[in-house]
Chains A and B, each alone.
Chain A
Amino acid sequence: DVKVTQSSRYLVKRTGEKVFLECVQDMDHENMFWYRQDPGLGLRLIYFSYDVKMKEKGDIPEGYSVSREKKERFSLILESASTNQTSMYLCASIRSLNTEAFFGQGTRLTVV
């Protein structure tokens, strides 16, 4: 059974902390994505990666960075967490565009 696993389901962090959200896929997929989801705004793309060590900005990259050192792992980093980054974060992977995307279960991050 294919799987995208996010390291935490729920996370509470303090303002100013550096936060790491981890995503691992076991499907040998090339492309991985990080989204945030907020009520009424749908899923918004933060960053994506099409290969190891490659990354591209999505629509809302400000305040975030990413790391892809291995094909199966894509990390989202909040350099200095702020309360407006409280959100649901979703990771996805696909083998190539125009194929099925698989999502993780999501990480609900609260910054206090």
Chain B
Amino acid sequence: LAKTTQPISMDSYEGQEVNITCSHNNIATNDYITWYQQFPSQGPRFIIQGYKTKVTNEVASLFIPADRKSSTLSLPRVSLSDTAVYYCLVESGNTGKLIFGQGTTLQVKP
């Protein structure tokens, strides 16, 4: 199962674009990359998922280079309410497991 590595914490200011990068060097051919957001005292919530190149939805963009060994979650113009923990997952159908890492704690300051 592909292991993911992401920064433990990041700081930003309101209105800035935030990019969180995740490394997954041993990603397999059939693995997808998924990002979740978690607020205190709540369960994680799905943000975005992709396989290659770029995916965009109303909340975020996900950039995946050709070798797929990393991915970058981009949050445009963050606000205080984007303060949360962000998890990168690499999912594989081979094991059935859904493994979360430690996540990145994003602190948005006014």
Contacts and interface: CB of A to CB of B under 8 A. Distances in A.
Contacts of B49: 98, 100
B42 interface: yes
Interface string A93-112: 01011101111111010000
B96 A98 contact: no
Contacts of A100: 46, 49
- The number of chain B residues touching the other chain, given as a range, is 20 to 34
Contacts of A43: 44, 87, 100
Given A33-B98, A48-B98, A98-B49, A103 B43 contact: yes
Interface of B: 32, 34, 36, 41-46, 49, 87, 91-93, 96-103
24 contacts: A40-B102, A41-B102, A42-B102, A43-B44, A43-B87, A44-B100, A45-B97, A48-B98, A56-B97, A59-B99, A90-B43, A90-B44, A92-B43, A97-B96, A97-B98, A98-B32, A98-B49, A101-B34, A101-B98, A103-B42, A103-B45, A104-B43, A105-B42, A105-B43
